[in-house]
Structure 1
Amino acid sequence: METGKALETSLRILNAAEILFVEHGFSGTSMRQITGAAQVNIAAVNYYFGSKEGLFQAVFERRAEPFARLSLDKINQLTSSKNNFTATEVAEAFMSAAMEMGSNPAHGGLIFVKLLARSYVEPNPVLKEKLPQRYGELTRRYLEALGQALPHLSSQEVSWRFHFMTSAMFNAFAGNNVMRLFMTQSLVNARDPQLVAQMLLPFIAAGLNSPAAV
């Protein structure tokens, strides 16, 4: 069991690394940046986490379980409370889990929402095996719910729409403002997760509820 001082040091490293991974991604974050932000030496990082890869996994795992549990709770509440739920409500359940995590400082607040988004936008070998294990059941339940809400679609097309739904959400919550590539000033504030959610849900709902493509 870690002593109070050891626990404080490891948490300081985790918290500093989490912010840096959100801002710069895994590849763009150096050990020098992490040790500087956490005010520790590299030996401390290696002692507690083994490597940069081990630290990244620890940062992600600390938040992944609460998010998976909350997301499952949301979809289970929806499907158990009514028989005729809509695809929009399924999307809203998934998004509300992310936003609820984002409003809870104990689970990392908006930092974790952005970290999760970055983890999907910039896939990392460290998480390649962990993500299916952590989110396999969550994905199955949401696909099942979407299939029930969209009975006119084949299972293949339901899977495509879930893919597009989650891709749009994670890209949007990553805070990347694509409009900045084309114009110096933009009315889009991609760094406000609440605003992103408000603007994104109608867009996703329209895609989910569109006629079958094939």
Structure 2
Amino acid sequence: MKNRKEPVPAQAGGDARERILVTAELLFAKQGVDKTSTRDITAEAGVNVASINYYFRSKEALAEEIFMRLAQRVTVLRLADLSRYMDAARESKSSLRLEDLIDCFLRPYFAPGLHGALLARFIIQHRLHPSEMTRRVFVQYLDPFAMEFIDALCLTDKRVSRVEWLWRYNLMTGTVMLAMTDIGPANRMTALSNGQADASQTGELKRHLAGYLCRALAG
């Protein structure tokens, strides 16, 4: 029959959908979306090989849902940090510090378990090949946060126009995305410095990235 619902695959009941999402995110973060097969995911999650098609239709749709979940978690963390920094500035009757806002923006990319490098790859993929799902991620999570963050940037230096802050914000995000997608063992910094600098050392990367962004955004 045409509209008959496909039966649930064997071994795919209960929390199978969530296991697939959690497992796929871990594997995508570790080895990349392209290098992770549906069989890798189902074997690791302990579900039937037909489960991904049943729950998500395709690996691409699964990846897009993981993008949505990542963006949601990151947005919640950033908004909490932003609110904390703004409350502290009000209580001390001082201006927001640019350094604090940059810390707010960068922290999810380096926080354990948040898979910031994977989020950066998803964002770049959206820029290259947007879909309806990835557009929804921006409309629902990333764009609203960006507007609040730019409002906060405006408070750090009221001599700078909002349009100028928009430019600086957009250029900042591009810098961070590129930096976060080149942190493997063969990263560009290692090659250019002949091993004296290494972007896979995420603590060093964060320190240099934060310092650079502070200087660049301060203009």
TM over 0.5: yes
Check conservation: 2:29, 2:117, Cα contact below 8 A. Answer: yes
TM-superposed deviation, 1:189: 2.4
Distance 1:97 1:202, change over 3 A: same
Partner of 2:59: 52
State yes or no: 1:158 paired with 2:165. yes
Check conservation: 2:71, 2:137, Cα contact below 8 A. Answer: no
Check conservation: 2:82, 2:104, Cα contact below 8 A. Answer: yes
Give the partner amino acid of 2:98: A
Which has the larger displacement, 64-73 or 7-16? 7-16
1:78 to 75, 80, 85: 85
Give the partner amino acid of 1:86: R
State yes or no: 1:122 paired with 2:132. no
Give unmatched runs, 5+ long, in structure 1.
Answer: 104-108
Aligned length: 199
Give the partner amino acid of 1:9: A
Quick one: percent identity of the two aligned structures?
26
Rounded to whole Å, the distance in 1 between the matches of 2:134 and 2:31 is 17
> Which structure: larger Rg?
2
1:191 to 193, 200, 207: 200
Check conservation: 1:25, 1:122, Cα contact below 8 A. Answer: no
> Equivalent residues in 2 for 1:10-89 (5 A)?
10-23=17-30, 25-27=32-34, 29-35=36-42, 37-38=44-45, 40-82=47-89, 83-89=94-100
State yes or no: 1:179 paired with 2:179. no
Rounded to whole Å, the distance in 2 between the matches of 1:180 and 1:77 is 36
2:212 to 179, 203, 214: 203
TM-superposed deviation, 1:145: 0.9
TM-superposed deviation, 1:38: 4.2
Rounded to whole Å, the distance in 2 between the matches of 1:170 and 1:88 is 19
Distance 1:195 1:6, change over 3 A: farther
> Equivalent residues in 2 for 1:139-154 (5 A)?
139-154=146-161
State yes or no: 1:90 paired with 2:106. no
TM-superposed deviation, 1:46: 0.8
Distance 1:98 1:38, change over 3 A: same
Give unmatched runs, 5+ long, in structure 2.
Answer: 1-7
* Greater relative CO, 1 or 2 (CA 8 Å, sep 6+): 1
